[in-house]
């Protein structure tokens, strides 16, 4: 054919050396398909890693999918990189790599570095530019403050395709741009500080929720182009909302067109299924001991942070990476060199990943979904930790939900479950998640985990949210939970927005919006989120009444707050609580307010007495609402200026 493959390379010897040593973190600038000009001709440069292939060629619409007409050239340096420039084609061209294996088998593979893929069930890659003229400079300058760990983090987790759909066409997914106006306005109204998108990388099986990825460098074409996603991110940034993205370096599917046995060998995964196959998800585990694989994965993290201005990565399934025997029986796993069950290669990878991310993007955060007691997940690597910024507090989530599922009459027998988290709360920088995993697979939506009649269910859930937002750590809530979604999350349909026609759901939505606002307005609730000096139980042992009283502390004691929550449906009048300071206290927020579908029982103003109670020198009698509570804050005393005559000394 006329447009044959011209030898050309974007790789320097230094690039190759970095790639082979696991230290090249911007491989997306080299691998994949890139439109450019060579010797005066426009065309596309292709590069792919397939070290065990006998030959690699590019097939596509441009050559009528002829597998032999455009063979790539293998580099001389044993790097296993095949590359070449094909003139006369451009962005928008559909292609695959035809790989002939050492055994003579022919494979058709998508490009691991493609910036765009066809919409599933089609499987080809597409030459695509990810250039975008960003207009979020103000946010990018400010996020070094917004993303600090002494700032409020209230994260709204969502799955883009099932958050909202056009009621006139409920089976059609909205485009990134179409959803932007509605989503940005809603997140802003609800006062969340960040959104967290479940994976938006290309994935062939929609019900995998995005966690079975084939196109690690491609925004899913189901919702539009890379530029459409950038538009959405920019719109969120313009509204002052940070954007987190789920990232999945733990496993990938055995899709015939993806990474699995890419060149006829286990290139990205381990050859031995005891290390390379994931029994839970029927997927394949990355070989973290292979330098080129580490370069691929860290480059992928950089890609989303660099090109898409992502503000943080929530790393999925970290526990499955750390343990060689994760979900395996005896004899189904291989111990490490010391005979233990720790995956030392994965540990080293996670440390390198976090060190690289924070070195190059110091104003972002990495967050680990890690469900075990592995020490130091969110501690710096120089202190022996894995280097994450935060870790999901799975134990808190499970204990708290188990407690709230109990009938209030039985809660006094389970009181330790609601208070136990403070035993280990300061070992890590914890984020408190009420995530998608808790409202699917028969686990019920949050509102139906709550006991009692309709009023009690909503009161319980508001009390749970009040506890969550005033407890330690940062916060994450899955979509639908903010208005009391009554059906389990279904990836194939929109949230039940029609529920907002009803008062209980309106009240819940209003409460969460106000709770988010209060959380951000009260420094005591976030300034020392991970510090033992920021939290003190005033009374953690009142199991008989199921009442919690605790003190949240800020940098300035005038910003301190006291939280009191009654977890039974009994109104407790003239209930005495200890207070850390003398003075008048006022209710900042009550979960039982009438506007939230509450009963309106509240002590609006509280004056302390010099009466020792609950180990505090001050105390006060308050009215406690049923299945509810409130946040108290001391009124600031402002001294009046004393007039001074000329020549007189100013009184102290």
Contact predicate 195/155, CB 8 Å:
yes
CB atoms under 10 Å from CB of 482, counted, come to: 24
Average pLDDT across the chain, whole number: 95
Task: Report whether pLDDT(252) > 50.
Answer: yes
Examine the pLDDT at 192 and tell me if it is beyond 80.
yes
Phi, psi angle pair for 174, to nearest 5°: -80, 150
Instruction: Establish if 183 belongs to a structural domain.
Output: no
Question: Is 128 in contact with 91 (CB distance < 8 Å)?
Answer: yes
Active site residue 369: yes
What confidence score (pLDDT) does residue 649 get? 47
User: Residue 441 pLDDT more than 50?
Assistant: yes
Do the beta carbons of residue 597 and residue 507 sit within 8 Å? yes
Q: Locate 566 and state its tokens.
A: 């009654």
Average pLDDT rounded to a whole number, residues 425-444: 94
Q: Within a domain: residue 560?
A: yes
- Note whether 560 and 579 are within 8 A (CB): no
Contacts 24+ apart (CB under 8 A), 66-74: 66/1, 67/98, 67/106, 69/1, 70/1, 70/3, 70/4, 70/5, 71/5, 72/5, 72/46, 72/47, 72/48, 73/5, 73/7
pLDDT at 306 over 60: yes
Classify residue 2: in a domain, yes or no.
Answer: no
Q: CA separation (Å) from 410 to 17, 406, 458, 546?
A: 64, 6, 19, 10
Cβ pair 357, 386 in contact under 8 A: no
Q: Assess contact for 31 and 113: CB atoms under 8 A.
A: yes
Q: Give the end of a domain, one of 75, 95, 127.
A: 127
* DSSP-assigned letter for residue 502: S
For 217-245, write each residue's pLDDT tens digit: 999 999 999 999 999 999 999 999 999 99
CA dihedral 492, 495, 498, 500 (to 10 degrees): 170
Helix (H), strand (E), coil (C) string for 442-455: CCCCHHHHCCCCHH
pLDDT band at residue 636 under the 50/70/90 scheme: confident
Least confident window among 71-85, 286-300, 363-377, 603-617 = 603-617
What is the C-alpha separation between 300 and 199, in angstroms, rounded?
A: 13
Centre a 10 Å sphere on the Cβ of residue 506 and count the other Cβ atoms it contains: 17
Question: Which of 4, 25, 16 has its CA nearest to residue 354?
Answer: 25
Distances (CA, A) of 63 to 94, 306, 540: 10, 34, 72
Q: Is the pLDDT of residue 211 over 90?
A: yes
Query: What residue numbers bound the domain in which 598 lies?
Result: 535-634
List the catalytic residue out of 93, 228, 269, 316. 316
Peptide bond into 513 cis (omega under 30): no
Mean pLDDT of 169-174: 92
- What is the reported pLDDT for 651? 45
How many separate domains does the chain show? Answer: 2
200 — pLDDT class (breaks 50, 70, 90): very high
Structural domain contains residue 409: no
Supply the pLDDT for residue 605. Answer: 80
Question: Is 331 a domain residue?
Answer: no
Q: What is the pLDDT of residues 385-409, one digit of tens each?
A: 999 999 999 999 999 999 999 999 9
pLDDT at 641: 52
Asked if the structure places residue 585 within a domain, the reply is yes
Phi/psi for 639 (5° steps) reads -75, 135
Which pLDDT value is given to residue 604? 72
Sign of the alpha-carbon dihedral angle for 98, 93, 38, 24: negative
* CATH label of the domain that carries residue 553: 2.60.40.1180
Catalytic residue among 246, 369, 370, 399: 369
Could you tell me if residue 399 is inside a domain?
A: no
pLDDT, tens digit, 9 for 90 and up, residues 527-575: 999 999 999 999 999 999 999 999 999 999 999 999 999 999 999 999 9
Positive or negative CA dihedral for 454, 457, 459, 462? negative
178 assigned to some structural domain: no
Please say if the pLDDT value at position 438 is more than 60.
yes
Mean pLDDT confidence for 264-269: 97
Question: Which CATH number is 19's domain given?
Answer: 2.60.40.10
Q: Does residue 196 carry a catalytic annotation?
A: no
- 498 contacts 164 by C-beta, under 8 angstroms: no
Structure-token match 């929720």, residue found: 209
pLDDT band at 650 (very low <50, low <70, confident <90, very high): very low
Rg (CA), the chain: 28
CA nearest neighbour of 190 among 171, 163, 172, 169? 163
């Amino acid at each position: 054919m006329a447009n044959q493959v011209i030898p050309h390379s974007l790789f320097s010897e230094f690039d190759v050396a970095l790639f082979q040593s696991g230290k090249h973190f911007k491989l997306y600038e080299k691998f994949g398909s890139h439109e450019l000009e060579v010797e005066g001709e426009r065309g596309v440069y292709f590069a792919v890693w397939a070290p065990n292939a006998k030959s690699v060629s590019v097939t596509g619409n441009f050559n009528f999918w002829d597998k032999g007409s455009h063979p790539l050239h293998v580099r001389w340096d044993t790097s296993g990189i095949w590359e070449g420039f094909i003139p006369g084609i451009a962005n928008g061209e559909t292609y695959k790599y035809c790989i002939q294996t050492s055994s003579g088998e022919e494979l058709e593979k998508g490009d691991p570095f493609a910036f765009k893929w066809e919409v599933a069930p089609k499987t080809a890659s597409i030459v695509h530019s990810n250039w975008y003229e960003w207009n979020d400079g103000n946010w990018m300058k400010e996020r070094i403050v917004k993303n600090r760990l002494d700032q409020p983090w209230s994260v709204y987790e969502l799955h883009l395709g099932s958050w909202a759909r056009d009621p006139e066409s409920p089976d059609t997914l909205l485009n990134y741009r179409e959803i932007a106006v509605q989503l940005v306005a809603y997140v802003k109204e609800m006062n969340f500080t960040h959104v967290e998108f479940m994976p938006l990388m290309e994935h062939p099986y929609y019900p995998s929720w995005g966690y079975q990825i084939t196109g690690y460098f491609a925004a899913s074409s189901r919702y539009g182009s890379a530029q459409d996603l950038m538009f959405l991110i920019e719109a969120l940034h313009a509204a002052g909302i940070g954007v987190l993205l789920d990232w999945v370096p733990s496993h990938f599917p055995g899709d015939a067109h993806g990474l699995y046995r890419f060149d006829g060998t286990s290139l990205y995964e381990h050859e031995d299924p005891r290390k390379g196959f994931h029994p839970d998800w029927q997927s394949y585990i990355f070989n973290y001991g292979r330098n080129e694989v580490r370069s691929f994965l860290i480059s992928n993290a950089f890609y989303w942070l660099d090109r898409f201005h992502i503000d943080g990565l929530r790393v999925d399934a970290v526990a499955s990476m750390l343990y060689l025997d994760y979900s395996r029986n005896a004899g189904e796993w291989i111990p490490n060199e010391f005979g233990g069950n720790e995956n030392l290669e994965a540990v080293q990878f996670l440390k390198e990943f976090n060190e690289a991310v924070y070195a190059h993007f110091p104003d972002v955060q990495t967050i680990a979904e890690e469900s075990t007691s592995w020490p130091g997940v969110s501690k710096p690597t120089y202190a022996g930790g894995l280097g994450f910024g935060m870790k999901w507090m799975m134990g808190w989530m499970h204990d708290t939900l188990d407690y709230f599922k109990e009938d209030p009459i039985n809660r006094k027998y389970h009181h330790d479950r609601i208070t136990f988290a403070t035993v280990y709360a300061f070992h890590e920088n914890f984020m408190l998640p009420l995530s998608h995993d808790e409202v699917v697979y028969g686990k019920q939506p949050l509102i139906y985990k709550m006991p009692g009649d309709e009023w009690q269910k909503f009161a319980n859930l508001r009390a749970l949210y009040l506890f969550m937002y005033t407890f330690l750590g940062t916060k994450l809530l899955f979509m639908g939970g903010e208005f009391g979604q009554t059906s389990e999350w279904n990836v194939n349909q929109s949230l039940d927005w029609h529920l907002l026609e009803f008062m209980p759901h309106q009240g819940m939505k209003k409460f969460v919006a106000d709770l988010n606002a209060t959380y951000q307005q009260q420094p005591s609730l976030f300034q020392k989120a991970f510090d033992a000096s920021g939290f003190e139980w005033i009374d953690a042992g009142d199991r008989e009444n199921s009442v919690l009283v605790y003190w949240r502390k800020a940098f300035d004691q005038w910003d301190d707050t006291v939280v009191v929550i009654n977890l039974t449906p009994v109104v407790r009048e003239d209930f005495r609580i200890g207070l850390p300071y003398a003075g008048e206290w006022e209710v900042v927020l009550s979960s039982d307010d009438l506007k939230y579908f509450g009963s309106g029982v509240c002590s609006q103003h509280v004056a302390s007495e010099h009466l020792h109670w609950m180990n505090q020198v001050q105390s006060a009698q308050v009215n406690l609402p049923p299945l509810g509570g409130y946040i108290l804050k001391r009124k600031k005393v402002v001294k009046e200026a004393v007039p001074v005559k000329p020549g007189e000394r100013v009184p102290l």
